[in-house]
Structure 1
Amino acid sequence: MDFTAGGRLEVRLTGADVGKRVSVRCLADSADTDAKFTDTVGVLTSWDHGVLVITRRTGEIVRIPESSLVAGKVVPAAPARRRGPAASFEELARVAARAWQPVESERLGDWTLRAAGGFTRRANSVLALGDPGLPLDEALKRVRAWYGERELPPYIQAATGAEGTQEGLCAALEERGWRREVSAELRIAALAPIGDLDTDDTAVARVRLERHVDETWLQRYQRFGVAGPHVLKVLGSGPSVWFASVPGEGGVPSAIGRCVVDGRWAGFMAVEVDPAARRRGLATAVMAALARRALDEGASAAWLQVEADNGGARALYDGMGFATHHSYHHFRA
């Protein structure tokens, strides 16, 4: 990694660069690695008391003692992705929120506090876009109290890794004792190729599409304790919602999926396959059938969310052309 045209290493960062994307090199901890230096790229979220805090694209927060710095500089934003439709972070965050609507919500400045009886963090967390209209510590106190009144753990959803994401908020939450429980990627792709996936048309023909979720679909989903009204409301929320299922033994579907069509976007979620029926192309068939219906409704772009540690799903979506737009995280007090 060259930090100057002549190959010399120097620190060209100051406290005024907080909030910018930077690349730094520091002396490695010899107890942890054989390498002499380690390199870190991310957003410089603070520089206080002789410690730099850098938030990487994945949301990982790295603390670097100033005394270990060898070189550092501000670097351009990550290059635009070559795959998938153009989209801003805020557009995608709001589209995803409309696909997982809460049972109740309340505004705190530009933030939205959301609750749905605890079913899915996406409907039971603060959508922290913009300014809460209060100093951060006071806003967090209000958040804890609001969720406490509902006997729910307080979560805040924040994102990293794209222009306009919330690296500063993530670092500030960690400094205040909030911990990242779950990280996931929001991925995007062109929609038409998903509808044209190389799959068995017979399998696609077996996929049933319905406007409403039924008991058999819920038996395959199993992401909740009891499917009360709050679960049905969240699953049924969105501008245009479709539920897919492939008939299976005992009346329980072999595979399911959910799609929310919202303008140009089609969001895919809840794609699950019976373990006994995996590697038969059923997930691909479900995705293709939902994509074709979304194309009929005028959508042209696709998005989905996949947890960072779900290697099988990540590989599946890689093959469908999905590329990561940004990462998002749920922080718990």
Structure 2
Amino acid sequence: MAVRSRIAPPPPSGPTLTDTVGELVGIDATHLRIATRTGEVTVARDHVVAARVIPPKPSRRGAPHRAVTIEDLHLVMTRGQPGVEEAWLGAPGSGWLLRAGLGWTGRSNSALPVGDPGLPLPEAVDAVEAWYDERGLLPFVMLPRPTGAATTDDPLGALLLERGWVEGNPADVLTGRTADLLADVPTPPGLRLTTADAPDDAWFAGGSPRLLDHLDAARQILALPRHQVFLTAHDDEGSTAGVVRVALSDGWAGVFGLHVSPAHRGRGIGRWLTVEALRIAAAAGASLTYLQVEPDNAPAQHLYRGLGMTTHHDYVHLALR
């Protein structure tokens, strides 16, 4: 992001404002902490006169949702589902992000390597193992990679496998231009839609079995993203037929937690909920969309690709068991 602030004390002549550009890594009642290319900068909140989000720079030619780097896209995605506790190994915004989320989802409970950890790889892995051990969590790494790449093609992936870590839980990251995904999908008969900026009991009641098994953790994690909308489909009897969440950050919309009750499947509810979430995202200015889906989840793959989403890259998790 870019933050414009007053210079204090003001100089006797010349500009009185300065711009700080970088990753916002901390905020409290009095100060902002911004990781810039040359180091971390602290800006007093009462000196800030303007701020704006700068989308990640493209790394290659092509549509914006395709041109963003894997690392920059993951930094956006972490804001859609963060950990309850997070720490950086290496420079904030460009090292390894360590995340702990009370055991709910690999996204919130894994180390995410997006750059240089500031240590030789073996020592960095030692630090990851120690960090998760201290919190009573299984050491877990999310390893992003270009589509088709093998885990052993990555030096970190190869090292983890050599050290006995186990590979599993792959996911495809799909992206698209939000405006291109807004299909004309009618409301399924007998349903009504509600939206809210926080989940209520009806939304949680429609969640996946894994969410319901980790309800306390889910409540804490889903309270963290700054801008998000929860959508709930209700049937004529007042029961929850389906739910989805859309998180908004850096010009991107992230679709999370789509789940349709088994009793209501086969009616197009998942497609309808997804498109309604994207309409909300488009109205909020999110021009690009991402989501994460398991490779073997054929119905979800068919739904999302049918709307026009395409593979950006994939990732795999590695665990020390």
TM-score (norm 1): 0.70
Residue pairs, 1:181-200, within 5 angstroms? 181-195=168-182, 197-200=183-186
Deviations 1:6-64 (A, max 9, x none): xxxxxxxxxxxxxxxxxxxxxxxxxxxxxxxxxxxxxxxxxxxxxxxxxxxxxxxxxxx
Residue pairs, 1:1-333, within 5 angstroms? 84-109=65-90, 110-161=95-146, 167-195=154-182, 197-201=183-187, 206-221=192-207, 222-224=209-211, 225-228=213-216, 230-248=217-235, 251-333=238-320
Matches of 1:106 and 1:93, distance apart in 2: 16
Answer yes or no: is the 8 Å Cα contact 2:191–2:234 preserved in 1: no
Answer yes or no: is the 8 Å Cα contact 1:158–1:329 preserved in 2: yes
Cα 1:204–1:217 change in 2 (3 A) is same
Matched letter for residue 297 of structure 1: A
Answer yes or no: is the 8 Å Cα contact 1:238–1:260 preserved in 2: yes
Please give the secondary structure, in 2, of the residue aligned with 1:236: coil
Matches of 2:263 and 2:64, distance apart in 1: 33
Deviations 1:231-254 (A, max 9, x none): 212123323111011003664310
Matched letter for residue 232 of structure 2: S
Between 139-148 and 314-323, report the one with greater CA deviation.
139-148
Aligned to 1:26: none
Matches of 2:148 and 2:264, distance apart in 1: 40
Please give the secondary structure, in 2, of the residue aligned with 1:258: strand
Aligned residues with identical type, % of pairs: 34
Deviations 1:55-109 (A, max 9, x none): xxxxxxxxxxxxxxxxxxxxxxxx9777955321122110111111111122211
Please give the secondary structure, in 2, of the residue aligned with 1:152: coil
Count of residue correspondences: 253
Matches of 1:192 and 1:204, distance apart in 2: 27
Q: List gaps (5 residues or longer) in structure 2.
A: 1-59
Q: List gaps (5 residues or longer) in structure 1.
A: 1-78
Larger radius of gyration: 1
Answer yes or no: is the 8 Å Cα contact 1:190–1:301 preserved in 2: yes
Deviations 1:148-180 (A, max 9, x none): 111110101111116999833222221222111
Matched letter for residue 243 of structure 2: I
Please give the secondary structure, in 2, of the residue aligned with 1:189: strand
Cα 1:250–1:180 change in 2 (3 A) is farther
Matches of 1:178 and 1:80, distance apart in 2: 36
Cα 1:203–1:288 change in 2 (3 A) is farther
Answer yes or no: is the 8 Å Cα contact 2:178–2:278 preserved in 1: yes
Pairwise CA RMSD: 2.6
Please give the secondary structure, in 1, of the residue aligned with 2:210: coil
Offset, 1:318: 1.2
Matched letter for residue 288 of structure 1: V
Cα 1:236–1:296 change in 2 (3 A) is same
Answer yes or no: is the 8 Å Cα contact 1:115–1:125 preserved in 2: yes
Aligned to 1:64: none
